[in-house]
Amino acid sequence: MKSVMHLCLDGEKAVLHKMIGARLTTILIFALCVYGVMGARLFQLTVMPNLNEPDTEITRGSRAQSDALYYGRSDIVDRNSLLLATTLPATSLYVDAKLVSNPEGVASDLMRIFPSLNRDDLVRKLSSGRRFVWLKRGLTPAQHKAINQLGHHGLGFQKETRRFYPQGALFSHLLGYVGVDGRGLAGVERGLDTVLSRAESPMVLTLDLRVQYAAEKALRQAVERFNAIGGAALVVKVKTGEVLASVSYPDFDPHFPSKGAQKNLFNRYIGGVYEMGSTFKIFSTAAYLEQSNARLSDRFDARKPLKQGRFSIRDYHPQKRVMSVPDVFIHSSNIGTALMAQKVGTETLKTFYDDLGLFNGFSVDGLDIARPLYPKPWRDVNTLTVSYGHGVAVTPYHLMQAFLSVVGDGTQARLKIVPANEKGENAGVRVRLVSDVTNRKVRKLLRLAVAEGTGGNVDIKGYNVGGKTGTADKAVAGGYDREKKISSFLAAFPMNDPEYAVFVMVDEPKGRKDTYGYATGGWVAAPAASDIIRSLISIYSIPPVGEEVERDFLKNIMPMVYTKKKKSVQPASLSMEKNDE
Amino acid sequence: MRQSSVPSSMIFLCVFAVIAVLTLGGLLLWTGQKVQQYQKQTAKQNKDILAEQERIRILKAEWATLNNPARVERLMNEVAPAPISHSMGEESEGAQ
């Protein structure tokens, strides 16, 4: 700068001097402006209170890290967000055997903390010389502390996770369980494994803990009371197909699935196929009523067994008279139902059953439902026997789904255990299976069966409960075992506009003195179903539809019901013991 | 005489610029320190949050276990041993 000034001391150079001064000033001011901006920004970032953290990719990343504690598997909750399955941190104990100087002593100390371990095995592991051997997985905090207090060299802990089911065995069959590596091995844990291991938010199921408990309790009591080998119970919302309760008994501890008896792992409602007996009459009667010329008042001669080739179809408790459709239904006449099926014809009946899904395996939100068994080849006599539930073996899920299709709105129903909105699924157009007229008639028949027939043990005044009993001999190698029965009850209420459907099935019940030796659906399963319905009423505070609605509902159909000349109305409880198939 | 004729405004500006650079440098250093301090703090808080979340998880599981219907029913029967019965009890069936 100075040298420049020397050069232009005098004369006209003073002008140049001024110019240079002006330029320098300009540059300096410009630089100051830049520094000013930087300073202001620094001031803003550091000194000024900055409450709102800017929403940038970086800040979002750091927040997500702290929010979502990654446990590798999402929780499972019921429809009210009550916890059914969760993942908990667990500590596991391993040993670096190279560092253990006194295997015998360490083993003795460990045996005091884990009495269940095998001592020889432990000593072998401790003296193996390997750098990493698991000793015990899934320690409790108390055990963790106790081992730390031992202070042995070479013992180490590894943080792991463990699947925990707060409801214990209650949901064991539905939820299933996971293996040591955290992969689902059964039930929902297996069926929805990919979703569960990916999603961070809890998985919501349609089930209701309270209903599940009520159903389990009623089923367990029925199984124990009749000294049965097991059973299944389902509660479903008719309009949406949402499963509220799904119980198979006996159950198991999902934390230690292999500890109990192997047969306890068997899931009766999706894994077992059973000939359901008379509950199938709901479907064959619907098929008959779908015929264009069929009327409820049509007569069927049930005076003598129906002969078809070398087969002869009999009634369990023959009425020995000509019966109307309602009569056939409430007295559960095999002959009458077989005659209806004969009029429907093999092809139509088979197509109808197929549409109801009774011939195919299917999947309910990842749960695989077993394939049914049906006669192959199908002979004419099969049409007759299948009409009253002999010859086709299905799972309770099949039966329930078909039932919903018939008593719901007459369109094809789909059971679900994951709410539709969770999946973002489009409901779509549902296929119509039975007409509104048939649907209404079947609902009336079901109500009639409870009010006047075999399902009398289930009636709850004012709730318009309808249902059908079923009792079938179990199929064994080479025929049927008359001593081994499947007794069931399939119900819905209120029948004028069904909201809930209940199914109870008891496997091999034995007759009791106070049931006069009977172990039929009406005696075994109907009271349990009644208990479940009463629980539903109190859980959801369901108001009764009233006895007037009940009476009006059956007004048109009552004249078609046969009544004995002298006694006008048969008490339901008396007719039951005689008429259950 | 004229040699010292560098305008005083220029000197002022230069001095001001030097001060500004020093101040801003200091501020930057201070900011850097602060950032490190906050990062440490955040890391610690994140760790605490994780620990808390783990505890919440365990407590939730414990809460669910303690509230399982079978236990609640048992406790209720202990407190009020006259439950409201929904079942069609033994009496009604015995009467048949």
| A531/B88 CB distance under 8 A | yes
Tell me: the pLDDT tens digits for A73-115? 889 999 999 999 998 888 888 888 888 888 888 888 888 888 8
In A192-211, the residues whose Cβ lies within 8 Å of chain B are 209-210
Pick from B21, B23, B46: CB nearest A66: B46
pLDDT at A567: 43
The complex's ipTM works out to: 0.70
Pick from A62, A86, A534: CB nearest B57: A86
How many Å apart are CA A375 and CA A378, to the nearest integer? 5
A457 CB within 8 Å of a chain B CB: yes
Q: Using an 8 Å Cβ cutoff, are A361 and A373 in contact?
A: no
Distance of CA A572 to the CA centre of its chain: 33
pLDDT at A317 over 80: no
pLDDT at A564 over 70: no
pTM assigned to the model: 0.78
Band (A525; pLDDT cuts 50, 70, 90)? very high
| A167/B64 CB distance under 8 A | yes
Band (B91; pLDDT cuts 50, 70, 90)? very low
pLDDT at B83: 54
Band (B14; pLDDT cuts 50, 70, 90)? confident
Tell me: the pLDDT tens digits for A380-430? 888 888 999 888 999 999 999 999 999 998 888 889 999 887 555 555 667
A571 CB within 8 Å of a chain B CB: no
Residue that wins the pLDDT comparison between A185 and A561 = A185
| B28/A538 CB distance under 8 A | no
How many Å apart are CA A500 and CA A238, to the nearest integer? 5
What length does chain B have?
A: 96
A26 CB within 8 Å of a chain B CB: no
pLDDT at A68: 47
| B24/A21 CB distance under 8 A | no
One-letter amino acid for residue A390 of the chain: H
- Tell me the chain A residues in contact with residue B63 when contact means C-beta distances shorter than 8 Å: 83
Q: What residues contact residue A559 under an 8 Å CB cut-off, 6+ apart?
A: none
Nearest of A347, A350, A316 to residue A334 by alpha carbon: A316
Residue that wins the pLDDT comparison between A561 and A214 = A214
- Does A538 participate in catalysis according to the annotation? no
Strand blocks (E) in A35-154: 76-77, 83-95, 133-139
How many Å apart are CA A518 and CA A506, to the nearest integer? 13
